[in-house]
Amino acid sequence: MEKKRCNFSLGSTQYQLSEKFLLYHDTRWCKPLHDDQELYAMLVLEGMQAGVSWNLILNKEENFRKAFDGFDPRLVAAYDEAKVEELMQDKGIIRNRNKIRSAISNARAFLKVQEEFGSFDAYIWSFTGGQVIDHHLKDIQDMPVKDELSEKVSKDLKKRGFKFVGPIIIYSYLQGIGVINDHWEYCDYR
């Protein structure tokens, strides 16, 4: 018997969702994540996704991982303008200078948060007291694009120097790292 997925995962008339997207939905989306390097990776990927489809980002994820040194924030924080220019020539990633520079400045801000809180994990999960927010959605119409939590996290991240962290991107980020569980009630991957 085939498992049920959230209805947005079943495809669209605009584009066919990739196997990578389906795997992401089934194994990573809305699953609690506590590894700092992966928390940074998701922050970069979510920022890169602004204005393009998540399907595209997932199809380029391995290229991003290679181009950004496995998303090691210590390495990315040390990137200079020569590295920005190198990344601008990499056809395997989103070549947007502002997004690339934000990945670098966000790595620096990320390291400061780690220093202050002991880990980025401790920081990001502190907004919910370590608890997953489960919205028990019935359908896509029930899913907000942002909420009070994403507004609060976005505001705090911006205050700390992060870029490409508006409340809509942060809502998606919080889903991606499992702070928010927006799998539909009928989804077998909850």
> Choosing from 54, 125, 171, 173, which is the catalytic residue?
54
Q: What is the DSSP letter of 133?
A: E
**CA 9 distance to own-chain centroid:** 17
Contact 103, 69 (CB under 8 A): no
Distance CA 104, CA 44 (A): 9
Catalytic status, residue 29: no
**Alpha carbon distance 100, 87 (integer Å):** 8
Point out the catalytic residue in the list 29, 46, 79, 171.
46
28 secondary structure, DSSP code:
T
**Catalytic status, residue 125:** no
Instruction: Single out the residue of 173, 138, 170, 132 nearest to residue 151, CA to CA.
Output: 170
Length of the chain: 190
Residue 40 designated active-site:
no
Catalytic residue among 2, 15, 19, 24: 24
The catalytic residues are 24, 46, 54
